Every structure is written in structure tokens, then in C-alpha cells.
Amino acid sequence: MALALLAAPQGAGAHHGWSWTTGGNLELVGRIVEARLGMPHGVLIVEAEGERWTVEVGQPWRNERAGLKDGDLAPGIEIRAIGEPSEDLADRRLKVERLYLGDREYVLYPNRD
């Protein structure tokens, strides 16, 4: 399981849904412990390197548009998520831009990279 910062923080984005993030990307690899999918967005609890992270995925329509099906994000599944972490890394919270299940990439926010 791995955790890596991919870019230096650049400041929060203008949209309120991203206002708590750094503006830089982080890669998180771990196993889904809990999945709550639905509105306003899905939330996964992911265990990575002995820590539990709150990982926000898209709204149901966004996940579907990316090609995800309901059972794809379930407890026990290994996930590699790339997205913007909370400005306070101690929060262990990540908003996903794209994720990988095995070798398959799912782009939730195509214009965020």
C-alpha cells in the first residue's frame, strides 16, 4: 500500500466542493473497508498503510459516466485513487479525480488534472 504526493499544493479551487482541498494531487493505494454510495457523493473508507482515509468519489451519475457499477466500490476491493487531499493531511481525507481498480482507470473529473 502506498501514499505519495504527486504535486505541490497550489491553493484551493474556486468550487465549494473542492474548497477544503490543497489543489495538488495525492495518490492513495489501499483496500476499501466501507462504502456509502449515493448523494451528494459516494464516500469510501479506505485502509492504507495502517491508516483509515475518507475518500470521496463522485455522485452516482458521475461514477456511472466514468464506467463504475454499484458493486465495483465494495469492501475488500483494492483501489488506487488520485485526487486532492485535505489541506490538513491529518484529516486523511481525499477527493478523487480518478481511480484505478486493477489496471482499469475511471476518470471522475476529466478536467481536474
- The phi and psi torsions of 17 (rounded to 5 degrees) equal -65, -15
Which one-letter amino acid corresponds to residue 26? L
Domains contained in the chain, CATH given: 3-107 (2.40.50.140)
What pLDDT, on the 0 to 100 scale, is given for residue 3? 56
- The Cα–Cα gap between 51 and 40 comes to 25
Long-range contacts of 57-61 (CB under 8 A, 24+ apart): 57/96, 57/99, 57/108, 58/96, 58/108, 58/109
The per-residue pLDDT for range 35-79, each reduced to its tens digit, is: 998 777 889 999 999 999 999 998 899 999 999 987 899 999 999
Q: State the pTM of this model.
A: 0.80
